[in-house]
Structure 1
C-alpha cells in the first residue's frame, strides 16, 4: 500500500475510533491517531500471530481502527 493508501486508512481508522470513543477531534488528529493506531494494532496483531489475507485494505483498516481505539482509550484514561 502506498503513501496515499496509508493516509486514507489513517483518516478512516481515526474517524471510526473517534466515534467509538465519543471523542471530538479534527481531521489531522484523526489521521495521526489512525496512523499511530495502525502501528499499535499491527504490533499487537503480529505478537498474537494474527494475519489477514483476503483484502489488504479492509484488513489494515480493521487493525488500524482497533489500535486507534486502544490508543484513544488509554489517552482518555491517562488524561482524566
Structure 2
C-alpha cells in the first residue's frame, strides 16, 4: 500500500477511533487524525509481530481492524500523556 493509502487509512480510522473514544483531546480533529495515521502504522507493526499479518492491502478487513486497534492504542496513550501533563502540580 502506498503512502497516500496509509494517509487515507489513518485519517479514516483516526476519525473512527475518536467516535469510539469520545472526549476532550488537545489539538482537536487534526491531531486526532494524525494520531490515526500513527495508529495505523502501530497497528500494522503489532499485527505483523503478533499475527504475522501486516497492513499491506487497503481493502482488506484485517488491515482496517489492525489500523483501528492501533489508533485506539495511540489515542489512549496520547490522552494518558496529555492528561498527566495538564494536572497542576502543587
Higher relative contact order (CA 8 A, sep 6+): 1
TM-score under structure 2 normalisation?
0.68
Larger radius of gyration: 2
Structure 2 unaligned segments of length 5 or more: list them.
84-90
Whether 2:57 is the aligned partner of 1:56: answer yes
Question: Among 47, 54, 72, which residue is 1:69 paired with?
Answer: 72
- Give the number of aligned pairs: 77
Q: Name segments (4+ residues, structure 1) moved above 3 Å.
A: none
| Higher fraction of helix | 1
Do the aligned partners of 2:14 and 2:32 also contact (CA within 8 Å) in 1?
yes
Over the aligned positions, Cα root-mean-square deviation in angstroms equals: 2.2
Structure 1 unaligned segments of length 5 or more: list them.
none
Whether 2:44 is the aligned partner of 1:42: answer yes
